[in-house]
Amino acid sequence: MGSFAEFTQHMDWWGLLTLLVNAVAALLCITLHELSHGFVAWRLGDPTAKQAGRLTLNPIKHLDLAGLAMMLIAKVGWAKPVPVDMRYFKHPKQGMALTALAGPAANFLTALGATAVSSLIWRFGPVSHITLLILCFLSNVALLGVGMGLFNLIPFSPLDGSKILFALLPDRIYYKILRYERYVGIVLIVLVLLGVFSRPLSFLMIHVLNGMCALVGLPADVLWFCQDVSAILNQF
Per-residue pLDDT tens digits for 192-214: 777 777 888 889 999 999 999 99
Q: Is residue 89 pLDDT above 60, yes or no?
A: yes
Residue 6 has a pLDDT of 47
For residue 18, give the nearest of 226, 222, 228 by alpha carbon.
228
16-36 tens-digit pLDDT: 777 788 889 988 999 999 999
Number of neighbours of residue 91 by Cβ within 10 angstroms: 12
Number of neighbours of residue 68 by Cβ within 10 angstroms: 19
Please check whether residue 95 is in contact with residue 163, taking contact to mean a CB–CB distance below 8 angstroms: no
Neighbour-count burial of 134, counting CB atoms closer than 10 A to its CB (0-12 exposed, 13-18 middle, 19+ buried): middle
Element (H, E) at 169: none
Higher pLDDT, 121 or 234: 121
- How confident is the prediction for the chain on average, in pLDDT? 83
Please check whether residue 145 is in contact with residue 107, taking contact to mean a CB–CB distance below 8 angstroms: yes
| 6 is an active site residue | no
Residue 8 has a pLDDT of 47
pTM: 0.84
- Give me Rg for the CA atoms of the chain: 20
133-172 tens-digit pLDDT: 888 899 999 999 999 999 899 888 778 988 888 888 777 7
Residue 2 has a pLDDT of 46
Write down the catalytic residue from 32, 34, 84, 164: 34
